[in-house]
Copies of this chain bind each other. A is one copy, B any other.
């Protein structure tokens, strides 16, 4: 029912790795956690005994339903604290991750739910990652920089980093703003520019510009 800081760090990291990789391997996890493969194996045995893992020796592991539930709780705390640090204590989004790594292990549910309410139930952390709600549910919409959007996926501009006048002039000229709906038609490998289709036009934008435009899109589909 209660987990050590070390166990929590393993659970969280497995969750994040298996989102992209499916099954997680001993070496991959060891590298992410800055530890040794032998230590990972030891911990996997323990988490397996606690039924938090599907573990087949030599063939990697994934989280059980219970393991996922716990991981989502940790991720919720991490991202809520990141949001708090950025939006209440005025930290930059690049500073908050390390601090949240510590705060995420204060696990009291009432505290976390009150913090959530205090912050106005935010949907995304400062890096655009979705914050699970108090029941561990995650919205399927993700916020990413435009150049990471998969091709042909309908999306909507939700944030523009770099607020320089040059940037804003360019956006105005291309008629891009918060709420603009678009989708990527084509990536050009030569200079990593993109062709994007908007409601009434199709235009090309540079990699630098795309990196500073954030969009939301449906995860599945």
Could you tell me which A residues sit within 8 Å of B by CB distance? Answer: 85, 88-91, 99, 102-103, 106, 108, 111, 114-115, 118
Contact = CB atoms under 8 A, between A and B. Distances in A.
15 contacts: A85-B111, A88-B118, A89-B111, A89-B114, A89-B115, A89-B118, A90-B114, A91-B114, A99-B106, A99-B108, A99-B111, A102-B106, A102-B108, A103-B103, A103-B106
A2 to B, nearest CB: 12
Given A89-B115, A103-B106, 13 more contacts: A85-B111, A88-B118, A89-B111, A89-B114, A89-B118, A90-B114, A99-B106, A99-B108, A99-B111, A102-B106, A102-B108, A103-B103, A106-B106
A204 to B, nearest CB: 43
Nearest to A111: B99
Contacts of A89: 111, 114-115, 118
A4 to B, nearest CB: 11
A115 B89 CA distance: 6
A121 to B, nearest CB: 14
Q: Which of A99, A111, A118 has the most CB of B within 10 A?
A: A111
A-B pairs, 5 with minimum CB distance: A89-B114, A102-B106, A99-B111, A89-B118, A103-B106
A99 B103 CA distance: 12
A85 B90 CA distance: 19
A183 B116 CA distance: 45
A108 to B, nearest CB: 6
Q: Which of A89, A99, A115 has the most CB of B within 10 A?
A: A89
A77 to B, nearest CB: 12
A3 to B, nearest CB: 14
A48 to B, nearest CB: 27
A91 B110 CA distance: 10
Contacts of A115: 89
Contacts of A90: 114
